[in-house]
Amino acid sequence: MLDHLAVAYGSNPPNALPVPRLSNLPVNRQNYLYLSITIALCTAMKYSASLDKSTKLLTIGLTVFFIAVLVFEAVTFSAEARVGFFASAVILVVTYLYAYLYHPTGYTLNASELHIHRPIGSLTYARGQFTSVKVVPKENLRYSLRTFGVGGLFGYYGKFYNAAYGHMSWYLTRREHLVMITLENKKNILLSPDEADAFLKNLQTDTPLFS
């Protein structure tokens, strides 16, 4: 059955996930489930989300700053002030680890879901919840407010607000190639795939596309 599917899709795109091959499967519930999962994998596409130059420089700068603060406090704080040093160190390390562990690293689209990959706690959205997709010029986000999130260290992610778009959840690694997806519950999520055109083409197969 997958041989016919392969003919329909042609050769796999470069960033498509590997496609298993099946033949002569008996028809039963277990094989139907396995085939459904396999078809979803066949159409799954991975999209990278790399840091742009300004985000890389900001991340490097903040990393150097955090280290410099820790070194300065370790050298200059007296023995009586060690409690303050340890408290400061904990805050800086926890902040840095949180920013790293929850920053977006890429996205995967399959027939039914969008996956937002992170080092820990990756997110999944059902494509059936998408009501619209649109390209967002970076100029439109110039006056966005960060209500709870990270603004530059390994990316831009968390809760943001903008007068034009309202409340948004950002999962960005750059301030360009921006794609906004609106869900049935009116929630807006903002993504920054490196291959924005291919990402949009994939989404527009079952989602209204606006630009």
Residue 38 shares a structural domain with residue 69: no
Residue 83 shares a structural domain with residue 176: yes
Residue 72 shares a structural domain with residue 168: yes
- How many angstroms separate the CA atoms of 199 and 1, rounded? 27
Residue 69 shares a structural domain with residue 173: yes
- The answer to whether residues 196 and 211 touch, using CB atoms and an 8 Å cutoff, is no
Whole-prediction pTM: 0.74
pLDDT tens sequence across 105-157: 999 999 889 999 999 989 999 999 999 999 999 899 988 999 999 999 999 99
Q: In the prediction, which pLDDT does 116 show?
A: 97
Q: In the prediction, which pLDDT does 50 show?
A: 94
Element (H, E) at 87: helix 82-101
Residue 62 shares a structural domain with residue 83: yes
pLDDT tens sequence across 8-33: 334 444 455 454 454 555 666 665 55
Residue 12 shares a structural domain with residue 55: no
Range of the domain at 78: 46-211
Residue 161 shares a structural domain with residue 58: yes
Q: How many domains does the chain have?
A: 2
Q: Please report which confidence band the pLDDT of residue 36 belongs to, taking 50, 70 and 90 as the band edges.
A: low
Residue 121 shares a structural domain with residue 19: no
Residue 135 shares a structural domain with residue 169: yes
Residue 19 shares a structural domain with residue 50: no
Element (H, E) at 168: strand 166-172
Q: What single letter denotes the amino acid at residue 192?
A: S
Residue 38 shares a structural domain with residue 50: no
Residue 35 shares a structural domain with residue 50: no
Closest C-alpha among 167, 179, 170 to residue 207: 179
